[in-house]
């Protein structure tokens, strides 16, 4: 049986990930603030069950990620942890450096969005056309102006979202061409506008439920445990590109 340690398990996404992982047969262990202090013991323990592999999923807050990094940076985790999957954002430069150091001991996937649909949209934007140019490059050469709009619920703090920044990077869209809306209980919507004269194309991803993020996170973990990743720092896009070639 594979084991999943979940930091942030009491949050909305954490609860969804825990439930989705249990449905897949994982032994799920929620780690609270005090548990992080003893994370080395959790990595070494089987909790009375036979554990094949252990993966750590962090969907807490940047402060939680900082605490985990402080512990892991000094621990021997190479044979104990298959990967650390991080779903938090807003990391300081110091934390980013710690994460890079830890990634030399175990693979780390840093993702602002676990949606498989967003990954697919990103791949579409970067896909090569028969001209040899990618979609975004060809659109610009044809005279299309590109912009991005994203919408989330009113409680979301960052704007633009991390996903919007990722998609904008894939499409070569500058930050001044990104607009954000925070309204109601919108789970998430991202639209790429390609506009030129009297015509316009739109590429849109709509999240109808947070469950899609949990399913995407567990799918990523399953692929990691099955195929393995190199010991380095990945984005979700980088990780899936390597895993889907395995």
Q: Dump pLDDT digits (tens) for 43-73.
A: 876 544 566 899 999 999 999 999 999 999 9
pLDDT number for residue 7 = 97
CB 51 within 8 A of CB 1: yes
pLDDT number for residue 49 = 56
182 and 237 co-located in one domain: no
pLDDT number for residue 245 = 87
CB 210 within 8 A of CB 16: yes
pLDDT number for residue 50 = 62
Cis peptide leading into 160, omega within 30 of 0?
A: yes
Q: How many domains does the chain have?
A: 2
pLDDT number for residue 45 = 65
Total residues belonging to the chain: 246
28 and 101 co-located in one domain: yes
201 and 220 co-located in one domain: no
48 and 8 co-located in one domain: yes
95 and 215 co-located in one domain: yes
Which two structure tokens, joined as six digits, stand for 25? 């047969």
pLDDT (tens digit, 0 to 9) for every residue of the chain, 246 residues total? 899 999 999 998 999 999 999 999 999 999 998 899 889 888 876 544 566 899 999 999 999 999 999 999 999 898 889 999 999 988 999 999 999 999 999 999 999 889 999 999 999 999 999 999 999 999 999 999 999 999 999 988 889 998 999 999 999 999 999 999 999 999 999 999 999 999 999 999 999 998 999 999 999 999 999 999 999 999 999 999 999 987
Active site residue 156: yes
Distance of CA 53 to the CA centre of its chain: 21
185 CB-near residues (< 8 Å, 6+ apart): 153, 154
CA separation for the pair 244, 246 (Å, rounded): 5
Domain around 80: 3-110+211-243
CATH number at residue 185: 3.30.360.10
| Active-site residue, selected from the candidate residues 67, 98, 105, 152 | 152
Active site residue 152: yes
Looking at 143-210, list the stretches that DSSP marks H as alpha helix, in order from N- to C-terminal side: 162-171
pLDDT number for residue 1 = 86
Helix (H, G, I), strand (E, B) or coil at 198: coil
pLDDT number for residue 25 = 94
176 and 226 co-located in one domain: no
175 and 200 co-located in one domain: yes
CA separation for the pair 139, 27 (Å, rounded): 47
């Amino acid at each position: 049986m594979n084991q999943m340690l979940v930091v942030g398990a009491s949050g909305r996404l954490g609860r969804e990930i825990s439930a989705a992982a249990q449905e897949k047969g994982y032994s799920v262990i929620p780690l609270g603030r005090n548990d992080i202090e003893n994370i080395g013991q959790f990595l070494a323990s089987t909790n009375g069950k036979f554990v094949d592999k252990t993966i750590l999923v962090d969907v807490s807050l940047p402060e939680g990620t900082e605490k985990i990094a402080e512990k892991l940076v000094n621990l021997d985790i190479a044979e104990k942890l298959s990967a650390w999957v991080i779903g938090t954002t807003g990391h300081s430069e110091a934390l980013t450096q710690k994460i890079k150091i830890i990634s030399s001991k175990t693979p780390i996937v840093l993702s602002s969005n676990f949606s498989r649909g967003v990954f697919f949209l990103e791949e579409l934007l970067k896909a090569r056309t028969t001209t040899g140019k990618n979609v975004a490059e060809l659109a610009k050469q044809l005279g299309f102006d590109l912009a991005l709009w994203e919408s989330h619920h009113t409680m979301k703090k960052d704007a633009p979202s991390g996903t919007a920044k990722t998609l904008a990077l894939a499409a070569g869209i500058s930050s001044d061409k990104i607009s954000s809306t925070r309204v109601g209980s919108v789970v998430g919507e991202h639209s790429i506008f390609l506009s030129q004269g009297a015509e316009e194309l739109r590429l849109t991803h709509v999240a109808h439920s947070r469950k899609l993020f949990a399913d995407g996170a567990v799918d990523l973990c399953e692929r990691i445990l099955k195929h393995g990743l190199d010991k380095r720092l990945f984005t979700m896009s980088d990780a899936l590109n390597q895993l889907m070639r395995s």
